[in-house]
Structure 1
Amino acid sequence: MRQELVSDCAAAAETAAIALARCDERLARVEPVLAEGACQRGHAFEAQALIGLSGGLCPLEDLCLHDARMDVRSPTREITRAAAMLDERRRLARREPAEILNPAALRQRLGIAEVPEPDRTGRVRTADQIATPWDRIDLEDDDDGQVDEDGLDREEEDDHGDPAFADIDALLARTRKRLDAWNDLSSDAGRMNLTLRDPAYDAAGRLARWLTVLEEGRGLPAALAAALALDAWLWLEPAERAGELGFALAATVLRQRGLGSAHLPVVGLGLRRGKFRWSPHQALSARVAGLLDALTEASAFGQADLDRLSLARTAMLRKCENRRGNSKLTELVGLFVASPLVTVQLAAARLQVSPQAVEAMLKQLGGSLPRELTGRRRYRAWGIL
């Protein structure tokens, strides 16, 4: 099976590896301010793309404004999720790949115990049972209730209540019991972290199988190993509430194998821009080939975005010609390039000038000034998006 997969995806893997290497080498050779700006913009593009893949709407301007705590309107659930992904990618980009992919670190990140905990029936679910993770769990009989055909506890009927609300009261009582069984209410920390989790999910077993796939990919080409790791993550879903983390981990695999030393590759962006859509009903070779094409598309977009960023910088630097030696306009241009969003207060703090001086420099940029993002007359922000 492994030989057939390598032969079927060899061409796509080679194309993706060449595209990734070119993009990474170019970022390593350009000026640091351009490389920093491209990496920061890549994080924002990736977060927006992952929300789009899940069917949500996340305008890039709103995401950058929310990240700078300058929301024009109340942030939506999609904006909040994208901001969390943005912070996650920034943290991963600052850490070493070996530290990120360490099994103990992954378990800590996902909140998984090292040894799989037994379910409510006392049985320990292993990695071999992941193929059917939604097996029915037989609930133990309680002293004050019985288990019906649906596996839900039936409360004793209250003869003193209103018959019209008897079914609703019984449903609320059963729901309360189920939530109490899934949450730890015995400590303050448990009450502060209430959540709805499936006790039969077996995140530890799923993660163990994903780590096995990751280990098997060490003998494969880097791009193919990353695509297999991402495909396994999407198939197994080791994280019950962090499905997008698999894209960042696949990019980390590329960094570890030398195809992303200058940046954290954007995998979801290529998948969002391409025509391929991952589905578990497709064949393994088709899924992996589609993910490899997404890597190629993401690398091409990264180079095109770097060209756009360089062009914007060149246009703004033309306004800096024939300026005095102590002019801060060149530094303001560098700030626009390195940061997705710039405000008057941020520029004044970074350049150590007054806000009035920043306003004057913004007027000097004229038509090359980046687009204003807020649409307001006060507390404005500009960015190259």
Structure 2
Amino acid sequence: MLADGARQRGHAFEAQALVGLSGGLCPLEDLCLHDAGMDVRSPTRDIARAAAMFDERRRLAQREPAEVLSESALRLRLGIEGFPDPDRPDKATTMSGTAKGGTAPWDRIDLGEDDDDQTGKDELDLADEDGLGNPAFAEIDALLVRTRKKLDAWNDLSSDEGRKSLTLRDPGYDAAGRFEGWLNIREEGRGLPAALSAALALDAWLWLEPSERAGELGFAFSATVLRQRGLAAAHLPAIGLGLRRGKFRWSPHQVLGVRVAGLLGAFAEAAAFGQSDLDRLSLARTVMLRRCEKRRGNSKLAELVDLFVSSPLVTVQLAAARLKVTPQAVEAMLKDLGGSLPRELTGRKRYRAWGIM
């Protein structure tokens, strides 16, 4: 029960930490309530992102590490088809530098096409706008026209299906090449110690950014490397949480040694937090089990305590289904716990939920 509870809470802590690392705000209670479909307020974009990471980590934790890290599975998850061009430049050779050698996405856009667009039929004649208003607004309108043309060139707007899947992607991103570079670096780290290999894999992911839309997956893949190498065989480590709690902040402007040392420190911080969380759950279970003393042999109160420990969030309906008792019996057992009852999370009088956060 303690192990299951630590694993489930670790997924929630990691999802919250990854949102925090990107500058977002995701209260842990709101995340767990959203995951259970019991939102007390409208979920924000950050909560939706954290919930997606929460689900992703649970799916990855249920699969074998070798299956998760296989090249075919990674390509399928990242949406990368085929194989990269063998003549492409190898991005892995730039890993030891102090700054990225590639250009920014906005610098890779062919500006020549925009110049051609300015002579098209949709181009606004700024000279004609002098008598109609501020020329600055005409320049903004012209920019919007060119932007719309650029988006039309990147997306298929000729069909309903294309309009539904409208996205803004950089055509020069080269996801396949970046992914191949990350695979090469991960292969080079196979002969290294487990923690160092996982740190190099995560550093390469943050450096190369193989996924344009799922950058947080690198933390889960690095944790899966630790599982595969036997350093964390029983759970998926919350590496992002360790990075969030520590003082180190990864930056591409740092040298490779500093980056890897900082990530190794984040691994240690994550392990220390996991141990402290396990101790916290053990203490909470001990306190609640004191209420079970001198109970009848068929009492379900001890099972309710284990349910509180193993699940981040418990409702009356969930407890009734798991313990195979009536909701009224669950309500009575909640009253029996008294002061040791976990905190109520919703603030409502009906459809309530309790949990050890």
Q: Is the 8 A contact 1:206 1:237 kept in 2?
A: yes
Which digits, 9 at most, give the CA deviation of each residue in 1:224-264, with x for residues without a partner?
Answer: 00000001111111111211111001000001111121100
Unaligned runs of 5+ in 1: 1-32, 118-123
**2:198 corresponds to:** 226
User: How far apart, CA to CA, are the structure 1 residues paired with 2:158 and 2:303?
Assistant: 55
Q: Tell me which residue corresponds to 1:24.
A: none
> What residue in structure 1 maps to residue 123 of structure 2?
156
Among candidates 1, 5, 13, match of residue 45 of structure 1: 13
* Mapping for residues 97-108 of structure 1, pairs under 5 Å: 97-108=65-76
Q: Of 250, 253, 262, which aligns to 1:281?
A: 253
Larger displacement relative to structure 2 (230-239 or 133-142): 133-142
Contact 1:48–1:60 (CA<8 Å) still a contact in 2? yes
| 1:314 is aligned to 2:283 | no
**Amino acid paired to 2:110:** D
| Matched letter for residue 298 of structure 2 | N
SS at 2:292 equivalent: coil
Partner in structure 1 of residue 64 of structure 2: 96
- Unaligned segments of structure 2, at least 5 residues: 95-99
Which among 195, 200, 217 is matched to residue 245 of structure 1? 217
How far has the Cα of 1:106 moved from its partner?
A: 1.4
Does the CA contact (< 8 Å) of 1:51 and 1:58 recur in 2?
Answer: yes
Following superposition, the deviation at residue 40 of structure 1 comes to 0.2
Number of paired residues? 342
- SS of corresponding position for 1:353: coil
Q: Which amino acid aligns with 2:216?
A: E
Aligned equivalents of 2:326, 2:279: Cα separation in 1? 32
**Aligned equivalent of 1:201, options 173, 193, 197:** 173
One-letter amino acid matched to 2:76: Q
CA distance in 2, matches of 1:133, 1:94: 39
The one of 295, 316, 321 equivalent to 1:344 is 316
Contact 1:133 1:200 in 2 (8 A): no
User: What is the Cα deviation at residue 155 of structure 1?
Assistant: 3.4
Does the 8 Å contact 2:8/2:311 carry over to 1?
A: yes
Q: CA deviation at 1:157?
A: 3.5
Write out per-residue CA displacement over residues 99-120 of structure 1, whole angstroms, 9 at most, x where no aligned residue.
1111221122111222359xxx
8 Å CA contact 1:112–1:204 kept in 2: the answer is yes
**What is the RMSD of the two structures over their aligned residues, measured on CA atoms?**
2.4
Partner of residue 81 from structure 2, selected from 113, 116, 120: 113
Mapped partners of 1:56, 1:328: distance in 2 = 41
CA distance, structure 2, for counterparts of residue 127 and residue 255 of structure 1: 28
Counterparts of 2:258 and 2:72 in 1: how far apart (Å)? Answer: 32
1:292 counterpart = 2:260: no
Quote the residue 1:22 is aligned against: none
SS of residue in 1 equivalent to 2:202? helix
C-alpha distance in 2, partners of 1:353/1:242? 42
Q: Report SS of the residue matched to 2:190.
A: helix
- Does structure 2 conserve the Cα–Cα contact (< 8 Å) formed by 1:133 and 1:202? no
Residue 319 of structure 1 aligns to a residue whose secondary structure is helix
AA aligned to 1:231 is: D
Partner SS, residue 75 of structure 1? coil
Question: Once the 2 structures are TM-superposed, how far is the Cα of residue 184 of structure 1 from its aligned partner?
Answer: 2.7
* Distance in 2 between residues matched to 1:381 and 1:50, nearest whole Å: 25
TM-score where L is the length of structure 1: 0.83
Match of 2:97 in 1: none
* 1:137-168 deviation line (CA, Å, top 9, x unaligned): 436759xx8156xxx97833379999546444
Whole-angstrom CA distance in 1 between matches of 2:11 and 2:323: 25
Amino acid at match of 2:61: A
CA contact (8 A) 2:117 2:146 kept: no
Which residue does 1:78 correspond to in 2? 46
Report SS of the residue matched to 1:382.
strand
For the residues of structure 2 that align with 1:261 and 1:227, how far apart are their CA atoms? 17
Distance 2:160 2:185 in 1: 38
Output the TM-score relative to the length of structure 2. Answer: 0.89
Aligned residue in 1 for 2:237: 265
Q: Is the 8 A contact 1:154 1:174 kept in 2?
A: no
| Residue deviations 1:50-76 (CA, integer Å, cap 9, x gap) | 111111111111111111111111111
Deviation at residue 171 of structure 1 after TM alignment: 2.8
Moved more, 71-80 or 173-182: 173-182
How far the C-alpha of 1:177 sits from its partner, in A, is 1.4
- Measured in 2, the distance between the counterparts of 1:102 and 1:187 equals 35
